[in-house]
Amino acid sequence: MRLDLEIHSPLEEVNLPAFTKHGVRVFVKRDDLIHPLISGNKWRKLKYLLKKADAESKQHLVTFGGAYSNHLLATAAAAAKFGFKATGFVRGEEVQNDTLLLCRLHGMQLIFTSRESYRDKAALFNNHFAGDTNAFFIDEGGASPEAALGCSELVDELPFAFDHVFCACGTGTTAAGIINGLNKHQLKTQFHAIPALKNGNFLRNDIDKFLTHPHPFHLHNQYHFGGYAKTTPKLIGFIKTFTAATGILIEPVYTGKMLYALVDMVKQGEFASGSRILAVHTGGIMGLFGMANKF
């Protein structure tokens, strides 16, 4: 089975007054343009998991996510594109929304489960699919060494070295992968992870467990805006202004918080004049539909 998408996403320089004032150059890695639905870090994280499933002759992908999960939608779209069956465990009560509609349209079976039972994903998988030798477990968000390997390839695509790299952080897998890529190329780039959830310091351990070699990184916990999928008028205002000024659509769950952090740190003079900074757009634009009333 051929499991390929074009993943050399474009690099786009962004010019904002704060960047000019402080003498820094900021580029956005447009992973959101990889695929309409398997976008951002989603394809990078799924690529080697799907190759592993195919190598093991497993044709039924079983994964997990919330009602607005970009990972569920990406897995459903990838399963349809590459000939897999897909099942998604959805956290919480049964609901209808645009994300789940697209999951169903791509053939994914959805199983809604209580928040309590959702905590033990291995048990959920075993209770429903222990007898299905064709079923292949994919953790929430694709978290795995295979996903980290896929994300590490982002660094292979960079045309020059950066002084700093910024990335939103949910499970820590993408961050770990990019850090591994920096190590592979022996780059001294400083990596900045922006947790999308409150009290995100635990992500330090989650990132460390997927690192191929120890590597220092910065974890900025102060830009969560109240927690996962939480927002404030200040963040919404930033997203409106950034999108209108650049033409790059961002959302409040991940990339919006990451870019807010980057701009805020530039304004505080955190980076030397002449610094080149990379911001990784990890996609997830469907997250906007769950927060349309905020705009």
Residues 30-78 pLDDT 10s:
999 999 999 889 999 999 999 999 999 999 999 999 999 999 999 999 9
pLDDT of residue 292 exceeding 70, the answer is yes
Tens-place pLDDT, residues 159-189: 999 999 999 999 999 999 999 999 999 999 9
CA 148 from centre of chain: 11
Tens-place pLDDT, residues 190-199: 999 999 999 9
Tens-place pLDDT, residues 94-108: 999 999 999 999 999
Label residue 2 by pLDDT band (50, 70, 90).
Answer: low
Average pLDDT over residues 102-128: 97
Select from 125, 118, 172, 183 the least CA-distant residue to 144: 172
Lowest mean pLDDT among 79-88, 139-148, 281-290: 281-290
Average pLDDT over residues 5-27: 92
pLDDT of residue 110 exceeding 80, the answer is yes
Topology alike, domains 11-36+144-294 and 41-142:
yes
Give me the chain's average pLDDT, please: 95
Beta bridge partners of 11: 29
Average pLDDT over residues 113-130: 96
Residue entry with tokens 């309590």: 116
What are the domain boundaries of the chain?
A: 11-36+144-294, 41-142
pLDDT of residue 4 exceeding 80, the answer is no
Select from 230, 220, 228 the least CA-distant residue to 264: 220
Q: Are strands 109-113 and 218-219 parallel, antiparallel or unpaired?
A: unpaired
Region label for 257, one of left (φ > 0), alpha (ψ between -120 and 50) or beta (otherwise) = alpha
Number of helices and strands in the chain (H, E)? 11, 10
Cα separation, 294 vs 167, whole angstroms: 24
Label residue 288 by pLDDT band (50, 70, 90).
Answer: confident
Measured in residues, the chain has a length of 295
At 1 the pLDDT is 61
Over the range 196-220, which residues count as b (16 or more CB within 10 Å of their CB) and which as e?
A: bbeebeebbebbeebbbeeeebebb
At 174 the pLDDT is 97
Region label for 227, one of left (φ > 0), alpha (ψ between -120 and 50) or beta (otherwise) = left
At 287 the pLDDT is 83
DSSP state letters, 23-69: T-EEEEEEGGGS-SSS-THHHHHHHHHHHHHHHTT--EEEEEE-TT-
Q: Find out if CATH 3.90.550.10 is the number for domain 41-142.
A: no
Tens-place pLDDT, residues 234-252: 999 999 999 999 999 999 9
Give me the percent of the chain exceeding a pLDDT of 70.
98
Cα separation, 285 vs 251, whole angstroms: 6
Average pLDDT over residues 96-123: 97
Label residue 291 by pLDDT band (50, 70, 90).
Answer: confident
Instruction: Give the CATH number of domain 11-36+144-294.
Output: 3.40.50.1100
Q: What is the dihedral of CA 58, 64, 70, 73, to 10 degrees?
A: 50
Element (H, E) at 166: strand 164-169
- E strands present in 104-159: 109-113, 135-137
C-alpha gyration radius of the chain: 19
How many degrees, rounded to 5, is the angle at CA 13 between CA 11 and CA 14?
Answer: 135
Number of Cβ within 10 Å of residue 15's Cβ equals 11
